[in-house]
Amino acid sequence: MAKYLLKTCCGCGSLRTGTIISGIAAILLSIIGIIVVFTIRVDLKTIVFDFLPKWAVTVIIVLNMVMTIILSILLLAGVAKRNWYLMIPWIVLGGMLAVGLLVSILINSIKFYIDGDNLNGTLWLVLGLLSLGKCRLEAIFSANFHSRFPVVYCYMWYVSFSFFSNLREESGKGKYMRDPFRRERI
């Protein structure tokens, strides 16, 4: 087992339980996000492609959420069947979203600094990374869990990655070398 993987979720739960919670949370928050996108009037914009019309941005966000739902279902199926192959898409997407979130926070912070608004640039950087502040809706709105709570999102991804790594390592062992009753050795 790798040296820096987690052994429990939140210090008391199993990695399996934490992975199930993160998969269910992703599904529920994506469904809520789709409902919010279609029911609340919000000025949706992207950071890089700011020339896109509103309907195109809405389609991109909804497709992102639908893909999150599909990959989360695959994650839950992989957890239920203890099949790490089914978990790979969610783990990869989660890692990419974590990097994208970091880039998004840095881009918005740099934009504030360039505009001469040092206070907002610092607040965006610090509070964006610590997830204590309220984001500017038009800058980073996607109604997904990862856009509002980056620290919690990254931790839940790390829990899922740790469980994924444990399953992958366990699958390489023979039938009699696996831990009995799925208990962890001390």
Token pair in block for residue 129: 């990374």
Asked whether residue 99 is assigned to any structural domain, the reply reads yes
Tens-place pLDDT, residues 128-175: 776 533 333 333 444 444 445 667 777 888 888 999 988 888 877 666
- pLDDT at 180 > cutoff 70: no
97 or 45, which is more confident? 97
Quote the CA–CA distance of 44 and 141 in Å, as a whole number.
7
As a three-state string, the secondary structure of 36-86 is HHHHCCCCCCCCCCCCCCHHHHHHHHHHHHHHHHHHHHHHHHHHHHCCHHH
Tens-place pLDDT, residues 54-105: 888 888 888 988 998 999 999 999 999 988 899 999 999 888 887 877 787 8
pTM over 0.75: no
Asked whether residue 184 is assigned to any structural domain, the reply reads no
- pLDDT at 182 > cutoff 80: no
- pLDDT at 186 > cutoff 50: no
Asked whether residue 49 is assigned to any structural domain, the reply reads yes
Residues shown for the chain: 186
pLDDT score recorded for residue 40: 83
Asked whether residue 181 is assigned to any structural domain, the reply reads no
Asked whether residue 31 is assigned to any structural domain, the reply reads yes
| Domain of 98, in residue numbers | 15-167
Q: How many domains does the chain have?
A: 1
